[in-house]
Amino acid sequence: MSSVLVVEDDQFVRSALIRHLTEATHTVRSVGTALEALREVAHHRFDVVILDLGLPDLDGAEALKMLRGITDVPVIIATARDDEAEIVRLLNDGADDYLTKPFSVEHLSARMTAVLRRSRATAGEAPADNVLRVGGLAIDPLRRRAELDGARLDLTRREFDLLAFLAGRPGVVVPRRELLAEVWQQSYGDDQTIDVHLSWLRRKLGETAAAPRYLHTLRGVGVKLEPPLAGPPR
């Protein structure tokens, strides 16, 4: 049994999904707008979100980006759109899977099972030697868990991916183009995206761009992660 959030404004489709998922012994909550969905994931823990793109208050693609800013919950996009470029964009923006409407409940169940299997597999215990350590940072890629000086870091999916990628290359200056390709899976993009995520990540590491401890930006070159230099005792 899983906890599912259905984000769908069409009452007929919404009711059908709730009925099917409930009959399959899942716990279901449902909302009809993007803002309600954001409130739900902020206050409740879900195993999977089924997200419609045609929401009345905000396009589902924008809602997905906002969801990814606060949670790593697997998201299955439910859409009547079949544009391949848009589907690729959605997957790059953090969607775990997608279904094109109309779809059968059996198809939905199969996709949910696959997404949940992948999600639970990455949450399993990882061997100790797979943990990346840089100074007081410990990053476990398989469990998607990061700690700083023994305290758990509350990171978004993209923040974790960025930190883990840099931690795998400690002391190496990674070009921004490589970060876009490896972390965002984009061959090109806006450097501001990297800057914003670095800023959020620095805040959670207790540092700033002006006074970095772990994350160092070399203007016009790239970014590197390295342990802080030992300073005089305070």
100-131 confidence digits (pLDDT tens): 888 887 888 888 888 887 766 555 544 445 78
**Tokens 């693609």 correspond to what residue?**
61
Domains of the chain: residue spans and CATH: 3-122 (3.40.50.2300), 128-225 (1.10.10.10)
Q: What is the pLDDT of residue 15?
A: 92
Q: From residue 38, give the alpha-carbon distance in Å to each of 58, 97, 172, 176.
A: 11, 19, 37, 30
* Cα–Cα distance, 167 to 212 (Å, whole number): 15
Which residue did the predictor score with more confidence, 193 or 55? Answer: 55
Can you tell me which residue has the tokens 């960025």? 162
Residue 112 tokens, joined: 């949910």
Distance CA 20, CA 227 (A): 51
Among the listed ranges 58-67, 152-161, 188-197, which one has the minimum average pLDDT value? 188-197
CA distance 172 to 165: 11
